[in-house]
Structure 1
């Protein structure tokens, strides 16, 4: 029990230096551990979210990371997982301060999504679908793609462009191409709706997608929706974002 108490005291002090030192451990040694752990976490988050980090001075950024380090129970030591934990912390537990950008949560999520797609391992091979097969194939979105929406143009944010308030919703399709580069496409609301339907119902045909789109957009006739959806899906098929449906990849274990 003594060891467990010492271990808990060690962890508590590492996360929050205002907590008492563990019994029997000198300050000089604890200072080394404090600096090592905190510096690693700060480096991981800064590397994952370089744009967000660039919007803070060094002191303010360290204070933000310290709040995360002290309060959030990370369950994984991996670089990518720590970045995701930080994004979750901002979305679930952190109260924006007057000096924080109003878009910090959205920007952090967008930067994490780019990192996730750049580093995620694909499970199984995906079968490409040719543009001319769109009308006759069962389809799905590539594993290496994400459909996102934010009320800020997060791809434009920098030290020189920082919107002061939310605006029109921006729809993004992020994907990793055959050269393993992460790209994004800004899409309109109708295209985002089409892709979301496909995301939620992998294995759909063009006709089935159009049928669902007709419910959402009753002012368009079937021929108009068919033509528009076909053109969009053909374009994304060329990019490798829309692929042939793989039943084994979408089955429950």
Structure 2
């Protein structure tokens, strides 16, 4: 057996000790150190990133969920800070929910992950403040996320477990403020549309932005949309959500 084969056999056992036997030449006491070390590290990172989700499970079920992730998911990154994203991908594309999983599981997991995603985002260094909304190109900063969910994810806890989606979506902006702290802001459909256009059209001008909004909401007067957009964007510039960029 080659060294690579030995490594693969060792890791297969560490990941799934219930179904894969350990190397016969290593005593179980030593193997157990590695079994606990690896799993506990993974479980610790997942639990710290998804504290509300974890609180909805008993310890056995939570450990089983993380164990399934540890056993079956092929992580695409070696970085510890990316473990939470890998867990979210596992839930979204690989995990088959059981009757004991809440119906809002994926939305809650994404909402919790967004906080860490914003916190560790490596921001571009070419942003500049917006001093004149009508003259400068507008950008949705890479340290902000424009989010919407069908469930009230911000209210979920062990004592509040909605069973059906809300009648209307819930909108949020998660962002890093000027002090580099992560903050959450409740939004609304109009604001979400405004931010979505800026995000998908980086460098858009204020006039073009309002024109696009007006094309989707023709029932509003153009002047009314201009005034509303200016008020909203002014606030978002101060919060560090909207910025401009240096000219080439």
**TM-score (normalizing by structure 1):** 0.92
Aligned residue for 1:183, secondary structure, equals strand
Q: Name segments (4+ residues, structure 1) moved above 4 Å.
A: none
Structure 1: runs of 5+ lacking an equivalent: 249-253
| Counterpart for residue 151 of structure 2 | 152
What is the CA-CA distance between 1:78 and the residue it aligns to?
2.4
Whether the aligned pair in 2 keeps the contact of 1:14 and 1:33 (CA below 8 Å) is: yes
What is the CA-CA distance between 1:39 and the residue it aligns to?
0.5
Aligned residue for 1:129, secondary structure, equals coil
Separation in 1 of the partners of 2:49 and 2:80?
Answer: 8
Separation in 1 of the partners of 2:64 and 2:247?
Answer: 48
1:157-180, Cα deviation, whole Å (9 max, x unpaired): 112211112122111111111222
Aligned residue for 2:23, secondary structure, equals coil
Mean Cα displacement is larger for which, 133-142 or 193-202? Answer: 133-142
Separation in 2 of the partners of 1:96 and 1:32?
Answer: 31
| Counterpart for residue 245 of structure 1 | 245
Whether the aligned pair in 2 keeps the contact of 1:202 and 1:245 (CA below 8 Å) is: no
Separation in 2 of the partners of 1:247 and 1:189?
Answer: 32
| Counterpart for residue 58 of structure 1 | 59
Aligned residue for 1:97, secondary structure, equals coil
Whether the aligned pair in 2 keeps the contact of 1:122 and 1:143 (CA below 8 Å) is: yes
Separation in 2 of the partners of 1:79 and 1:104?
Answer: 23
Q: What CA RMSD, in Å, does the superposition of the two structures yield over aligned residues?
A: 1.5
| Counterpart for residue 233 of structure 1 | 233
What is the CA-CA distance between 1:247 and the residue it aligns to?
5.6
Separation in 2 of the partners of 1:96 and 1:60?
Answer: 12
| Counterpart for residue 163 of structure 1 | 162
Separation in 2 of the partners of 1:211 and 1:68?
Answer: 46
Whether the aligned pair in 2 keeps the contact of 1:6 and 1:23 (CA below 8 Å) is: no
Residue 69 (1) aligns with residue 48 (2): no
Separation in 1 of the partners of 2:152 and 2:183?
Answer: 15
| Counterpart for residue 198 of structure 1 | 198
Whether the aligned pair in 1 keeps the contact of 2:126 and 2:245 (CA below 8 Å) is: no
Whether the aligned pair in 2 keeps the contact of 1:80 and 1:116 (CA below 8 Å) is: no
Separation in 2 of the partners of 1:138 and 1:8?
Answer: 52
Structure 2: runs of 5+ lacking an equivalent: none
Separation in 2 of the partners of 1:109 and 1:90?
Answer: 10
Separation in 2 of the partners of 1:110 and 1:90?
Answer: 13
Mean Cα displacement is larger for which, 37-46 or 218-227? Answer: 218-227
What is the CA-CA distance between 1:206 and the residue it aligns to?
1.0
| Counterpart for residue 37 of structure 2 | 36
| Counterpart for residue 251 of structure 1 | none
What is the CA-CA distance between 1:107 and the residue it aligns to?
1.0
What is the CA-CA distance between 1:121 and the residue it aligns to?
2.6
1:49-77, Cα deviation, whole Å (9 max, x unpaired): 11111111111110000010000011334
Residue 14 (1) aligns with residue 41 (2): no
Separation in 1 of the partners of 2:247 and 2:27?
Answer: 59
Separation in 2 of the partners of 1:84 and 1:138?
Answer: 32
Aligned residue for 1:174, secondary structure, equals strand
